[in-house]
Each structure stands twice: as structure tokens, then as C-alpha cells.
Amino acid sequence: MRVHMLHTNDVHSHIQMFPLIGGAIERLKRELGERLIVLDLGDHVDRVQPLSDITEGMMNRSVLEASGYDLVTIGNNEGLTLSPLALGNLYRDAAFEVILSNLRTAEGVVPTWLKPYTLIRVEDVTLGFFGLTAAFHYYPLLGWTVDDPYERARELSRFLRPQVDVLILLSHLGFYADRTLAQADLGIDLILGAHTHHRFPEGVRIGRTLLTQAGKGGRELGWTILDYTPGEDLTMRTQLIDVTKEAPSARILRTIDEVQQTEGPRLKRVVATLKAPLTISYERSSPYARLLAEILRRETGADASIVTSGLLLHGLEEGPVTYGDILSSCPHPITTCILRMPAIELKEILFRALNPQLFLRPIHGFGFRGKVLGYPVIAGLEWDRGASEEIRLYDARGEVEDERMLSVAWPDMLLFRDPYDSFKASSYEANVTYCLPDFLRHYLERALQDDALVWAVRLEKTTHKA
């Protein structure tokens, strides 16, 4: 028995790669006479892509179906940037199976569109597939129960191993977790991996287990071949196919064009009309960053808010502003959180954040889709520097004392990534509140409709004036 598996991971809605991936799959289906299974290991959806965002992933589903995928699992970009309702809409009645073993509703129920595992019979050989995704703490906040992936791996391996000839894990845990599972010798033969964007041209062998990953962005397609005869050893080999050398699929080009024609106009919806530009700077305070800081403070009810201007990829021109304009300027799947802290800690963070060497520092991860950290902007409080360069904070009543407790709204990326190396571990767990489900761009959309606020942020006021 020979089975070919074609697998993608972490494509992140690189729409230009969809037709090339589809072309590679079509070519191999023509050339290979043996059984072929097509799989995606998660993070196919990324809402930085306008059509993925406006359709809540339905564009990606159309492409997966048109490409002939058989099995997919869920990455954090699907599971955490879509509401439970949107996730159900995305996968319900899909032409492929959604395989994930460690996600349930808050009530502990497995959704009808989700399967913890599946069995595929090829000739007289049974292949067992189960899926696992990284257990981010955000899942319960969205209404999910996310189970420990290591425990579920042990449970599913014990349950499935006696029933199958080959046991395969669809993993969105990352290479290091995959390696741990392989070292545990749970009876898993093949781990098709994702999440950490590793690239393994020939896979990584750990004991009986072969680990694979095909980088990121859809530039390469994983191709793993299984040969097995009952009673004999299983042999596996894997390679990567450079899809940039493939002819694009006409079917996928048509699919994308159809979505563009039907859904693209929604991106042109006018949200507001600006009487003057809203500019952005990464090295000083600027109006667009002040608008983001102020709307976070107002809508969260926090004492203050801090944003960094690198969250805004460009400013907005005078005239009509569309939702697409806002999305392109602030594409990150980043939400807001409120952290309670004494004023002295906020002063320390602001002191570090105002270091000019950090403004143009490259930064990535935790949903950030920009390039540099940018300039820190605070709303709700005024600040200045004392004679010894220490930060002083002021509100309407005067100088804020060090011991006073403040509620501060932040983009959650700043808390997780901690680019200023300032957050106290004690504050992180006990004193944080997450504001879901809106992304930063949704706050900006509402802010832009407040003409008085838009006018006010053009008047720079960042230091205390006696």
C-alpha cells in the first residue's frame, strides 16, 4: 500500500500562493495513480488579508474546497481571530473534514462540524488521523474549552493505536511540542506540523516518528509518501515542493475572482470623511496614534491607555476613508486588555518606552503585522520629565502619586511581547482583563466617526503644562 500526502501549513492567507498550491495539487493528482490525501495544518486563514477578513475566512474555505483538500485542522489564526459562531459558519458543511481533538464548547460539547479523529481505509490498511492545536489562554475567553494537548495526545494514541496500522497527528502545536510528543514514544508514526514555521526538506526523525513542516506563506508544499504492507515495516519519506515553479490553477483563479467580485465591494464601504489627513510617525507623537490611544481609553473606561505608533502601518488621507483603508493601516489580529498597576510601574514602562533606540526597533510575533515598534503614546494622563529624567504623571487633580493604582488599557501584544521588559509577573496574571472580541481596527472605525475626537487629536498635548 502506498499513500501520498500533500500538506500545507501556515499559509496565512497569502492569496498569491493559492493558485500555485492548487496547480501543484492538480498536477500531482494527474501524475500519481496511487491514493492521495490533501491536508492543511492550520493558519490557512489570516485576517490581515482583506478578503479573508471581510468574509471571516469563507474565501479560504472556497479555495480549500476548490483545491480538493480532504482534512484540515485549526490553528490559532482560525481559532482565536474568529468568534465561535464565525468558526462554525466557516467549517459547517465543508467539503473537507475538520480534525481537532482538544477543542470543545464551554459546556464541554464537541461541535457537530468538528471531529476529534477520523479513520481512512486504503486497501487493507487503516490510517488514523487526530488533530491538536496550541492551548492559548484566550480560548476560554472566547467561549471554548481547550484541553491540554499532551494529555489528549496520550489519550488519543492509546485509543487509536490498536485500531490503526498508521497513526498520524495533524499538529498546530509547533516543532518543539511535536518533538516532545515524538520523544514520549506514544505510538505516533507521523506528525504533520505547523505553527513555528520551521522548514524541514527531508523531515526530522525521532525514534519511530517522522516530523514535517513546510515553512510559512505557502511557498512550499509538503509531500510525504507512506509505504506499508501488513506485517512489515512502515517506510516514510518526505520532501518539499517549490510551488513558485508551478503553473497556476485556473480553477483557483476563478474562485478568488468570484469572491473578489461578490465580497470585494464591502471593503469600499465608506466609514468616515476626513477634513484633513491623519498622519503617523514612528519617532514622535502623531495624530493617528493619538486617536487610537484615546479611543481605547474611552471605550474601555480605563484611567489611561498606551499604544505604540508601529501598530499603524500608514496614515489616512483627507477625504473618504473606507473600511479597507482602516484594515490596511491596522491589519493586526490584536485586541485590547486592561492592566491594573501602581503608577510607579507605569512610570517605569513609559521611561523605557521613550528610549529613542527602541522607536525603530524591528518587532514581530503575537499578531503584530507591522515592521517597527514605534513611538509610545499615552492618553488619559499627561507626563513630563523631572530634573533627573524621571517620569512624572498628571491627571486633572494634579501629580499622580507613585502608589496610586491605575487601570491602563494596552494592545494585548505589548503585554505578551513585552518589548520594554517592564511588566511585573505578579501584575500579569492577577490584574489583567481582556476586552474581546474587537480588534484595534474596530476601535478605529468607531473613532473616525467622532468628528470632535478626530479634530482634538490633531492638537498635540503630550506633556504636563503648569
CATH number of the domain that residue 435 is part of: 3.90.780.10
Per-residue confidence band for 252, with pLDDT thresholds at 50, 70 and 90: very high
- Overall residue count recorded for the chain in this entry: 466
Q: Are residues 13 and 141 in the same domain?
A: yes
Q: Are residues 19 and 58 in the same domain?
A: yes
Domain-embedded: residue 465: no
Model pLDDT, residue 171: 98
Q: Are residues 249 and 303 in the same domain?
A: no
Model pLDDT, residue 423: 66
Q: Are residues 128 and 236 in the same domain?
A: yes
How many domains is the chain built from? 2
Domain-embedded: residue 466: no
Model pLDDT, residue 416: 81
Q: Are residues 390 and 255 in the same domain?
A: no
Question: Grid coordinates representing 226?
Answer: 507512506
Domain-embedded: residue 253: yes
Per-residue confidence band for 450, with pLDDT thresholds at 50, 70 and 90: very high
CA distance 424 to 412: 15
Q: Is the per-residue pLDDT at 425 higher than 70? A: no
Q: Are residues 227 and 370 in the same domain?
A: no
* Rounded percentage of the chain residues whose pLDDT exceeds 90: 88
Per-residue confidence band for 466, with pLDDT thresholds at 50, 70 and 90: very low
Q: Is the per-residue pLDDT at 175 higher than 50? A: yes
Strand pairing category for 2-8 and 220-227: antiparallel
Q: Is the per-residue pLDDT at 395 higher than 50? A: yes
Q: What is the CATH number of the domain that holds 180?
A: 3.60.21.10
Q: Are residues 198 and 305 in the same domain?
A: no
Q: Could you read off the pLDDT of 318-367 as tens digits, one per residue?
A: 999 999 999 999 999 999 999 999 999 999 999 999 999 999 999 988 88
Question: Grid coordinates representing 34?
Answer: 496511487
Q: Could you read off the pLDDT of 20-79 as tens digits, one per residue?
A: 999 999 999 999 977 999 999 999 999 999 999 999 999 999 999 999 999 999 999 999
Model pLDDT, residue 343: 94
- In b/e form, how buried is each residue of 94-120, taking b as 16+ CB within 10 angstroms? eebbbbbbbbbeeeeeebeebbbbbeb
Give Cα 255 to chain centroid, integer Å: 24
Q: Is the per-residue pLDDT at 145 higher than 50? A: yes
Q: Could you read off the pLDDT of 210-243 as tens digits, one per residue?
A: 999 999 999 999 999 999 988 888 999 999 999 9
Per-residue confidence band for 119, with pLDDT thresholds at 50, 70 and 90: very high
Domain-embedded: residue 464: no
Q: Are residues 250 and 273 in the same domain?
A: no
Backbone conformation region of residue 187, classed left if phi is above 0, alpha if psi is from -120 to 50, else beta: left
Q: Are residues 13 and 87 in the same domain?
A: yes
Q: Is the per-residue pLDDT at 430 higher than 70? A: no
Model pLDDT, residue 292: 98
* Rounded percentage of the chain residues whose pLDDT exceeds 70: 97
Which among 215, 243, 263 is the end of a domain?
263
Which among 233, 263, 293 is the end of a domain?
263
Per-residue confidence band for 463, with pLDDT thresholds at 50, 70 and 90: very low
Domain-embedded: residue 428: yes
Model pLDDT, residue 432: 87
Domain-embedded: residue 131: yes
Which candidate, 177, 172, 170, 215, places its Cα nearest to that of 191? 170
Residue 141's domain comprises 2-263
Q: Is the per-residue pLDDT at 464 higher than 50? A: no
Domain-embedded: residue 463: no
Which among 263, 281, 300 is the end of a domain?
263
pTM: 0.90
Q: Are residues 361 and 295 in the same domain?
A: yes
Q: Return mean pLDDT, the chain.
A: 94
Q: Are residues 212 and 177 in the same domain?
A: yes
Q: Are residues 35 and 172 in the same domain?
A: yes
Q: Is the per-residue pLDDT at 265 higher than 50? A: yes
When mean pLDDT is compared across 108-112, 148-152, 382-386, the lowest value belongs to: 382-386
